[in-house]
Amino acid sequence: MSNTPHTWPRLFIQEKLSTGELLTLPPEQSHYLTHVLRSVEGDSVRIFNGVDGEWRAMITQCPVGKKKGLILKLIEQRRQHESIPDLWLCCAPIKRAHFDFMMMKATELGANVIQPILTSRTQIRESNSERLRAIAIEAAEQSERLSIPEIKPALALPDLVEQWPAHRLAILCAEFGDAQPVAQALSGALARARPSAAILTGPEGGFTQDEMMQIKALPEVLSIRLGPRILRADTAAIAAMSCWQALCGDWQNRDFHTRPDKIANAEKE
């Protein structure tokens, strides 16, 4: 068993976490640990549930038989829960492979909520929340997040605009019209004063003029240009979220979360 914690497997579970608690993993997670990672009794696993930070657990029983789940014993909390910036991604569903990629990257880039929006040019009208959530969970496990983004059911754009949350800055990705260059827009007073923001990207065919006007009628909105080229929607979402995190979000923090190896290396630099 490795004694370097960041090599231990990392799993999201739904149960409450407290010292000494015994947890039985569901079959798919048990199978992953025993048959893919070849974990054995005594091995450590990192566990998080989105509210109680990250814990070290130890595999205490590897029952034989596919139906039975591994038993883990919670040993100690290793990381306190940390809140992350309040960033939503409101995105028109696009072709499956690209949308799956977008979900993965939005999770790595710290989206708190992913809200699929149905616009007049959206070709993919349904989004399978369960499948998207599974992609987000895997990306959260890999990126060492302590939370999972909430994947909301798809909403038609007019309904989203109608129920737009007060005090949430809308950041419209617009490849044409009067959009401001992204760095200028997100360095401005409004962007920096609003801790709650939502980035909006259109479908492969883009937003219509009328849809842009609906979004621009929201109480607080910035229209941003992501350079002179037309980006795929997934590229635009990644670019816009990266710029927001760098200028308004948690990419300004230097501190690594409590990973002694990370801190030790940083101090040597």
User: Which residues contribute to the site for ligand SAH (CB under 6 A)?
Assistant: 173-175, 201-202, 206-207, 225-227, 229-231, 233, 236
| Least Cβ distance, residue 243 to ligand SAH (angstroms) | 11
| Least Cβ distance, residue 233 to ligand SAH (angstroms) | 4
- Residue with Cβ nearer ligand SAH (217 or 230): 230
| Least Cβ distance, residue 112 to ligand SAH (angstroms) | 20
Closest by Cα among 23, 66, 69 to 46: 23
- Residue with Cβ nearer ligand SAH (79 or 121): 121
- Residue with Cβ nearer ligand SAH (39 or 115): 115
Cα 40 to Cα 3, 26, 32, 152, 256: the distances in Å are: 14, 16, 12, 37, 30
Measure the CA–CA gap between 3 and 56, rounded to whole angstroms: 12
Measure the CA–CA gap between 120 and 239, rounded to whole angstroms: 24
Q: Do 261 and 6 form a contact (C-beta atoms < 8 A)?
A: yes
Residue 264's CB is within 10 A of a number of other CB atoms, namely 10
| Least Cβ distance, residue 200 to ligand SAH (angstroms) | 7
How many residues can be counted in the chain? Answer: 269
- Residue with Cβ nearer ligand SAH (50 or 205): 205
| Least Cβ distance, residue 227 to ligand SAH (angstroms) | 5
